[in-house]
Amino acid sequence: MGNFWDFCAPFYDFAEKTNGRAYNTMLKTVHEIVPKDSFVLEIAAGTGSISIAVSDKAGEVLCTDISEKMLAIAKKKALKCGVKNITFGNLNIFDTQYPDNTFDVVVASQVFHLIEKPEKAAVELKRVAGNIVVIPMSLTEEASFAAKIGLAVYRLFGFSPKVEFAADDYMKFVKKIGFENCEFTQISGKIPMTVAVWRKKHE
């Protein structure tokens, strides 16, 4: 899968723009969730669109991905936008090597359906999140016919999600892997999206 993301890195932003209405609304939704001056970790950041979108509100952002080519594009975009509070790097979603509660917010967009043992990743991200885990997801089962054609092309080049979702399926999946009592925001578009927000209960 890593080679797939390196391959599609130059086209990734264009692909997101084809679902621009939903994607831009998702960015605004995540921006509203992030508290001011917070320390944000983004896992599986792709070309860094979410990291850049929240950078004007966050105090510091750590933008991570397994694909160096994705991160290279993210760095160029941040430089072009004049963003200076983002650090870039690789991170193991199953073992981040950070202490408990390091980050105020963890963003894990479009990743849990791609990995083996999502429950294990969920435990790790909840551990390092001081307050919030934000989980945006495309609802490919509810995509328009044209969007499903585009997804079929992605699959020809190696895109292989473990599971795909309609809204109800995603809510059940998030709960199953350990994110109970989430808030959900539904976003319409060619490929609809759902943003799940899990908040840590502090004793």
pLDDT of residue 82: 97
pLDDT of residue 156: 66
Mean pLDDT (the chain) is: 93
Q: Which of 7-21, 80-94, 130-144, 180-194 shows the lowest per-residue confidence on average (mean pLDDT)?
A: 7-21
- 203 has a pLDDT exceeding 60: no
Band the pLDDT of 21: cuts 50, 70, 90.
Answer: very high
DSSP state of 202: P
pLDDT, tens only, 22-60: 999 999 999 999 999 999 999 999 999 999 999 999 999
The rounded distance, in Å, linking the Cα atoms of 189 and 69 is: 28
| Chain centre to alpha carbon of residue 2 | 16
Q: Which of 113-122, 130-139, 143-152, 180-189 shows the lowest per-residue confidence on average (mean pLDDT)?
A: 143-152
- 187 has a pLDDT exceeding 60: yes
pLDDT of residue 132: 97
CA quadruple 172, 175, 181, 183: dihedral sign: negative
The number of CA neighbours under 13 Å toward the Cβ of 55 is 22
Q: How many helical (H) and strand (E) elements, i.e. helices and strands, does the chain have?
A: 7, 7
Residue spans of the domains in the chain: they are 2-199
- 184 has a pLDDT exceeding 70: yes
The rounded distance, in Å, linking the Cα atoms of 104 and 41 is: 8
Q: What topology is assigned to 2-199 in CATH?
A: Rossmann fold (3.40.50)
Average pLDDT over residues 76-90: 96
pLDDT of residue 164: 86
Average pLDDT over residues 85-102: 96
pLDDT of residue 130: 96
The rounded distance, in Å, linking the Cα atoms of 1 and 180 is: 28
List, as one string, the DSSP characters of 85-133.
SEEEE---TT---PPTT-EEEEEE-S-GGGSS-HHHHHHHHHHHEEEEE
pLDDT of residue 151: 74
- 14 has a pLDDT exceeding 80: yes
pLDDT of residue 120: 97
pLDDT of residue 158: 66
